[in-house]
Structure 1
Amino acid sequence: MIDINSTPIASLLAEGISYTNMQMYVVIMIALVIIMTVLDLLHKKSSIYFFSASAKAEKDLFAGNAPCSLGKEEDRLKILSVADKVNILASTVVVDVSTAGEFSNGLRRLVHILTMWGFIFFNVATIIIIFGAQETQILAQVWNIGAIMLFIGTFWYWFGFKVDSQVEGYSWTRVVIRRDMFSLSLMATSVSALGWNIYGGGTGIWFILVLLATISLFGGVYWSKFSHMFFKPIAAYNKRIIKANGTNENLPHETRNDVWQQNRHSMELLKDAPMDMGLGIKREAPKHY
């Protein structure tokens, strides 16, 4: 049974592992995340894309010309003030990051929130306990609740929302290491951490499993989806910025209910159609493999 008011971390002291050793391990894991994330960004050229896109948008904005392949051009551009950018940043943090606003499916959003906040609670509590060289009841509760949330979120995702199982019809037992490494490492971390607590801590098999799971999670960033946790907030902020300043990456701004759009020749058949035309392909669950 899980003792939610304590963690197994303190039990390591009795086994001869000092806080200094634990701190060194945490520093190594953090360094691996940073190094691997930078390598991943360089490999995928994500950083180059964002820098070049941002520079191009600023150039178009101050030149008063944001070429668009389709749509009205006049009065689209707006030079954002510092206050505008702060508001956009706040919206990004509150909506897109903290509450996973990009998910329209409520259950999928809940799964993401459980996983994300469980991961944050678990790791932040671990770092505070190790570097503070003490454990309080509140920190222990945060550590255990985080591990439980991570367990629920990761397993719910694997059995309920895994894309190749839900859409492509593959069994949930089908594993592709590079694609599934992040999910499997998170699952292993939550299971091993909870098992470590249930069986009294120490440096036994459950502690070894915790080490293997966390090394896989933090050391495998380059080969997993870990770095997208840093990439997605930047992408969300950039999306809001280019929409607010009018540059919009050369994409049209008007939606189907815009008068200018409705009067286009290609929109003739949809001109008087209602904006909500039903579920469409979402009427039934995807099962056409």
Structure 2
Amino acid sequence: MLSINPFVELSSFISPIAMQIFVLVMVALTVGGTILDMIHKKNAKYFFENSKKLKKSATRNVPTGEKVTIIAKTLAHDVATSAEFCGVKRRAAHLLGMYGTIIFWVTSVIMIFSFPTSTTTPAVYPILWHVGALMTCLGGYWFWFFLRVDVRSEGNPWNRIVMADLFVLALVATSTFGLLWSFFQFSGSSGLSSLFLILFVLSNIVLFGGVYWSKFAHMFYKPGAAIQKHLAEADGSRDYLPEPADKPKQFGLGIKRSEPQNY
């Protein structure tokens, strides 16, 4: 099962071109939804205007080479390792979901565009496809049932769903239905295989078609905000915040009374 390309059997009754068009449509929905979200929330406008304001209060001019270094370090540390999460569990769940999703999507594109009908698909791609889906499920379900702020810190039930949960639920559903489709296809259960294939397709449509209403576009804003923060620290503008005090932090004994659950 793990070494079998599930899209090969699918190509026997769905044209590879149709599958490729579907992928391109999902990409278009993602781009369109992100652009609409940026227009609606005016994120890009805020970043550019705030950047201009910060330059006026900068105390030093940061050389281009230093800017490139700061951006590279930010991407390698803040983005690639999800360093903004102070909690180890939340950080681990996020990394599992993030890298699992990337692996799942990339291998899906490779198999659909390069090996849609080939029975000699290199085993590494379907194996990574299944592993990526499993990683996404592990990170997603871990987050959903145990690490969500409104569940762990606010005491809300795990089954309370709001619009902001659309991205996580659709993401986990896509990986789950993909795995179930692959399993029942491998086991020869055509009925269940068809059922989970339909659910797999629908969950993808919800995931990528719901970008405007979900937190999907948030993934593109966070790196930009992190980069701007570090550049502001380098040029001295510091987002209009005061410099760190020389006096050590003193929180008192109260901070030891409960486990920190800040996100």
- Give the alignment partner of residue 204 of structure 2, picking from 204, 214, 238: 214
In 2, Cα distance between the equivalents of 1:279 and 1:38? 47
Q: Is the 8 A contact 1:7 1:144 kept in 2?
A: no
Residues 200 and 100 of structure 1: CA distance in aligned 2, closer, same or farther (over 3 Å): same
Does residue 125 in structure 1 map to residue 107 in structure 2?
yes
- Which residue is 2:258 aligned to? 284
In 2, Cα distance between the equivalents of 1:195 and 1:111? 22
Note the alpha carbon deviations across 1:86-107, whole angstroms, 9 max, x for none.
1111111111111101111111
* TM-score, with length taken from structure 2: 0.90
Q: How does 1:23-38 map onto structure 2 within 5 Å?
A: 23-38=20-35
Residues 141 and 282 of structure 1: CA distance in aligned 2, closer, same or farther (over 3 Å): farther
Report the Cα offset of residue 249 of structure 1. Answer: 2.0
Report the Cα offset of residue 7 of structure 1. Answer: 3.1
In 1, Cα distance between the equivalents of 2:76 and 2:45? 26
In 1, Cα distance between the equivalents of 2:160 and 2:39? 30
Output the amino acid matched with 1:122: F
Q: What's the secondary structure of 1:211's corresponding residue?
A: helix
Q: Is the 8 A contact 2:4 2:126 kept in 1?
A: yes
- Which residue is 1:234 aligned to? 224
- Give the alignment partner of residue 161 of structure 2, picking from 171, 175, 192: 175
- Which residue is 1:275 aligned to? 249
Q: Is the 8 A contact 2:229 2:239 kept in 1?
A: no
- Give the alignment partner of residue 144 of structure 1, picking from 119, 123, 130: 130
Note the alpha carbon deviations across 1:144-165, whole angstroms, 9 max, x for none.
1100000000000001111111
- Which residue is 2:91 aligned to? 109
Q: Is the 8 A contact 2:136 2:175 kept in 1?
A: yes
- Which residue is 1:158 aligned to? 144
Residues 196 and 276 of structure 1: CA distance in aligned 2, closer, same or farther (over 3 Å): farther
Stretches (4+) displaced over 6 A: none
- Which residue is 2:3 aligned to? 5
Report the Cα offset of residue 279 of structure 1. Answer: 7.1
More moved, 150-159 vs 276-285: 276-285
In 1, Cα distance between the equivalents of 2:203 and 2:253? 41
Does residue 187 in structure 1 map to residue 177 in structure 2?
no
Q: What's the secondary structure of 2:11's corresponding residue?
A: helix
Residues 235 and 286 of structure 1: CA distance in aligned 2, closer, same or farther (over 3 Å): closer
- Which residue is 2:48 aligned to? 51
Unaligned runs of 5+ in 2: none
Percent of paired sites with the same residue:
40
Q: What's the secondary structure of 1:112's corresponding residue?
A: helix
Q: Is the 8 A contact 2:102 2:132 kept in 1?
A: yes
Report the Cα offset of residue 285 of structure 1. Answer: 4.7
More moved, 117-126 vs 162-171: 162-171
Q: Tell me the number of residue pairs that the alignment of Structure 1 and Structure 2 aligns.
A: 252
In 2, Cα distance between the equivalents of 1:94 and 1:219? 30
Output the amino acid matched with 1:88: I
- Which residue is 1:79 aligned to? 61
Residues 154 and 81 of structure 1: CA distance in aligned 2, closer, same or farther (over 3 Å): same
In 2, Cα distance between the equivalents of 1:138 and 1:282? 48
Q: Is the 8 A contact 2:5 2:111 kept in 1?
A: no
Unaligned runs of 5+ in 1: 61-65, 67-75, 263-273
- Give the alignment partner of residue 199 of structure 1, picking from 154, 175, 184: 184
Residues 170 and 206 of structure 1: CA distance in aligned 2, closer, same or farther (over 3 Å): same
In 2, Cα distance between the equivalents of 1:101 and 1:283? 25
- Which residue is 2:78 aligned to? 96
- Give the alignment partner of residue 19 of structure 2, picking from 10, 16, 22: 22
- Give the greater-gyration-radius structure (CA): 1
Q: Is the 8 A contact 1:166 1:286 kept in 2?
A: no
RMSD (CA atoms): 1.9
* TM-score, with length taken from structure 1: 0.82
In 2, Cα distance between the equivalents of 1:121 and 1:14? 25
Report the Cα offset of residue 283 of structure 1. Answer: 3.3
